[in-house]
Structure 1
């Protein structure tokens, strides 16, 4: 029985490793070619569509001023621009700070929401903002984001030059990457996800997942879909699947860059990532149970990817870890003992290579410090994700059984100093 479990675990883990090697090749190819596409598009700008930027904000006084300062410096025709801050039932100075910017900049507007419509989470706040939006293109930024001046320009350029793109997603960088060890680990995680998972999936399959921030979507699509799913904790992933089902693709375009703050404590990280994992599990089973009702079955490629990531892969690793721990106390008489250890070592080395390759795509990220952080990451941060996904699955299962209402956890923010210095650190 133990041998069978080992074979199952190794098959799942190595299947995922080979898939990531495949994505790594696509990510590398995309990184070497996307700039040529950008230059071609710059020579062909048929028109500048009107743009509405939605910024949901609940008790964001610590970070909202930096975000609005970035919005005031965007390189996009002002007569075509509308910035809507949804002050979602805030009890701090968020509304006051936003109003001060609205007085200075006519294209910035503030929407104040209160219960029963306000305070229900990000999806509800975005739907409230959508009612006031007048742009042909809808862009979304979190309240802790400081997009670079050309971010909107690049996102819109992608849409007007690619009629089959329902949405264009940009790249996000970690503003507080050097704050402590946790933020360094998160920085490496985000770069790896974008250059391997996002860029690789886009290059090979024309698939990408909308992140929670720094993306543009056609207003006509949101109207057709009825906005965001207010029952989804990962409203971005859920929206991605519905856009696929309309027959559009989602383009990853790393020219559009925003800088965002990441959790600086384990407690905040755990709660935020648990919400992400629960949200992705919700999306997996929502579309899995209705798969045969989908019009465009190509979405199944991404559904399989998410299934393997959050269900099979983590399950396989848990089986492997469990057998290793039991083997310390009981002789399991494994026939593949030596081979399994050899495969684990090779898998570890592949993990290191993939992370370092992703870092090499970004200026000043392939450093000696990050090399040692990547090695540490395998034994710490990656293992934390295992327990987090198991915990998220338990919480989500309990919610379904007890028919509990979905509750939104708002990520705690931290005061940042010298924002421009952080960008170049």
Structure 2
């Protein structure tokens, strides 16, 4: 249908796509950073033994001291002076054990060197500041505790520089000591570790190995660890302990006991730098501090984003599952109610339901048409062949393809043609309403065909004087291809299950333009069909609800329609639908605060549309991004199980909906593919519609291409249109 009076302002559409891409990329980048920082640390952390080729590791390193300086041409090493123990702690800071260790060190007046990981430091910045304030030395153990020996050069630099910037951003100090994760003594240095030491030297770092391992990571008992800590002989030692990575209660106990036993003269516990007479702590430059602060803030932001997404996914999963259960339970209730009513009409259940008066009043059927030459003949013939008395009014809204001529040439009794200038679908419908001779009006699109009993079945709910409008059951005729099958599933599962829910909840938001019945009295009270939105059917239905009328669903009143056959045509159609629905929701937002039928529409219908047709689709790309994130950084088996569970729920709901609609299940083989292609397309439609609405862009009417594939069916029991 033409929308001549709606002029779209297309400027800004490219900006909408740009904004959407920026948001998606931002979320993707945030999750990538979060995944790298928190989930890649365990990958390759325990490398396989690497053979040491002769000549790769200098003899000065293999046989030298634990503190290695490879920054110049010649490699130099050093070790603590006699009777000096350099206390070092790895894998922290830990929120539980690091404070206890710091308390023990403060109690004994001892300083130590803490080799921190960047990720832990970002989570516990207060502990890093406490270390610096209490005079402890801070070194780095890479950004994510990654094994540097087998890492590519880009990751080595990222791990070293990243950790350095983190410490600079938190403490204002620039560390110059590095302990490669999983390193031990000099003699055990591998080729890969030596290569990593050279990379660290290029960044200005000294490498610190160990000469004495407390073995506290194996938790052998506090007494065993204490025995390892007691100094043997006069030589200096670099002692390896851990303040993170697990339960360090034995470490705390052993450290306190060992420091208490060696507080006497002749033994000294200190930092690595002090043990060799070097001040390893220097003030960070302004640039390093700013970069470090920004880096820390960025990582915290990505953590917050990931946490928010995780909770959002939980909420979305719960809501989606609740919706699936709700619509199936309500659909069962609706189906049972309809079945009992029909049995009562046939006299088989007079004791369970009162007899309903059969509606025999004649009906005026209005067919608005603009350039519908491809399918208008089938549509009009099918309506004229109705078993119920009908007046057929075809309103030609300024067609240029001879639509009116085709209808007039049919010469069918009871069929009238009204020619008018193009004014849009609402004006065509209002012209038809004005020409209608009967109190019951059925509106049908020009690309839709009825079955012989459709009109009669459709209007029977008018036996209830509270009913102002009735929605029929729209069926996809051209469902042969995969795109048609996807739309067929959407109509049966998405639209029809929801309509059953809306019927029971008395909050029907839309009577589709393809098939809907109305009381003329109700139409007159709301001022006819409005042109305020692009979804005139939704706008009209909401207006009727707000006026106090009940709007119901009749699933046995079938109308066959053509679905878009290309993705481009589908996009245009759904874009208009979604945008128009948003317009109607905004127009009728006042229903939320009203009582009666209007309040049911506002607090039930509009809330349902907002949650399931706006908010969840807006969140859907995040779900897909998180799924990719899970496959890369989390357990792919668990992600596959979750996706399989979701698909199973979708299949069960779809199978039940198909059973209610008496449809064969063969189309459901396309359901898994629908989740990868069609679902994303529909979500993008919603996203662009919301962005377009927020930007104030007025969308023009997108008319769907007609294919002329429909024929008037002759068998009222058929579930496919007659060829």
TM-score, normalised relative to structure 2: 0.52
Tell me which of 541, 560, 569 is aligned to 1:268. 569
Q: SS at 1:3's partner residue?
A: helix
Q: SS at 2:435's partner residue?
A: coil
Say whether residues 1:372 and 2:669 are aligned partners. yes
* 1:166 match: 468
Alpha-carbon distance change, 38 to 215 in structure 1, aligned in 2, over 3 angstroms: farther
* 2:660 match: 361
- State how far apart, in whole Å, the 2-side matches of 1:186 and 1:270 are: 12
How far did residue 41 of structure 1 move? 4.5
* 1:55 match: 367
Tell me which of 249, 253, 257 is aligned to 2:550. 249
- State how far apart, in whole Å, the 1-side matches of 2:631 and 2:663 are: 42
Structure 2, unaligned runs of 5 or more:
1-303, 347-354
Question: CA deviation digits over 1:329-373, x for unaligned, max 9?
Answer: 8x6xx8x99977754442222112111221223445112xx2321
How far did residue 290 of structure 1 move? 6.2
Q: SS at 2:392's partner residue?
A: strand
Alpha-carbon distance change, 154 to 328 in structure 1, aligned in 2, over 3 angstroms: closer
Alpha-carbon distance change, 271 to 130 in structure 1, aligned in 2, over 3 angstroms: same
Instruction: Give the root-mean-square deviation of aligned CA atoms.
Output: 2.6
The alignment of Structure 1 onto Structure 2 pairs a total of residues equal to: 403
Q: SS at 2:394's partner residue?
A: strand
* 1:104 match: 412
Say whether residues 1:315 and 2:623 are aligned partners. no
- State how far apart, in whole Å, the 1-side matches of 2:581 and 2:682 are: 14
- State how far apart, in whole Å, the 1-side matches of 2:710 and 2:475 are: 16
* 2:398 match: 89
Question: CA deviation digits over 1:130-183, x for unaligned, max 9?
Answer: 221222011111111111111111122210x212211111212111112x1111
Aligned pairs for 1:194-273 (under 5 A) are: 194-203=495-504, 205-208=505-508, 209-273=510-574
Aligned pairs for 1:6-405 (under 5 A) are: 6-41=310-345, 44-45=356-357, 48-77=360-389, 81-101=390-410, 103-105=411-413, 107-114=414-421, 118=422, 120-159=423-462, 161-178=463-480, 180-203=481-504, 205-208=505-508, 209-288=510-589, 291-292=592-593, 296-299=598-601, 300-325=603-628, 343-367=642-666, 370-398=667-695, 400=696, 404=698
Structure 1, unaligned runs of 5 or more:
none
How far did residue 66 of structure 1 move? 0.3
- State how far apart, in whole Å, the 2-side matches of 1:364 and 1:48 are: 29
- State how far apart, in whole Å, the 2-side matches of 1:206 and 1:346 are: 32
Does the Cα contact within 8 Å between 2:711 and 2:722 map onto a contact in 1? no
Q: SS at 2:588's partner residue?
A: helix
TM-score, normalised relative to structure 1: 0.87
- State how far apart, in whole Å, the 1-side matches of 2:474 and 2:630 are: 42
- State how far apart, in whole Å, the 1-side matches of 2:676 and 2:484 are: 16
Q: Larger C-alpha radius of gyration, 1 or 2?
A: 2
- State how far apart, in whole Å, the 2-side matches of 1:46 and 1:352 are: 38
Q: SS at 1:109's partner residue?
A: strand
Question: CA deviation digits over 1:355-403, x for unaligned, max 9?
Answer: 1221223445112xx23211211222112111111122223333x2x5x
Alpha-carbon distance change, 337 to 10 in structure 1, aligned in 2, over 3 angstroms: farther
Structure with more relative contact order (C-alpha pairs < 8 Å, separation 6 or more) = 1
Structure with a larger share of its residues in helix = 1
Question: CA deviation digits over 1:168-220, x for unaligned, max 9?
Answer: 11212111112x111111111111134421113323x1333311221111110
How far did residue 298 of structure 1 move? 1.2
Question: CA deviation digits over 1:58-104, x for unaligned, max 9?
Answer: 00000000001102210113xxx311111111000201011123x33
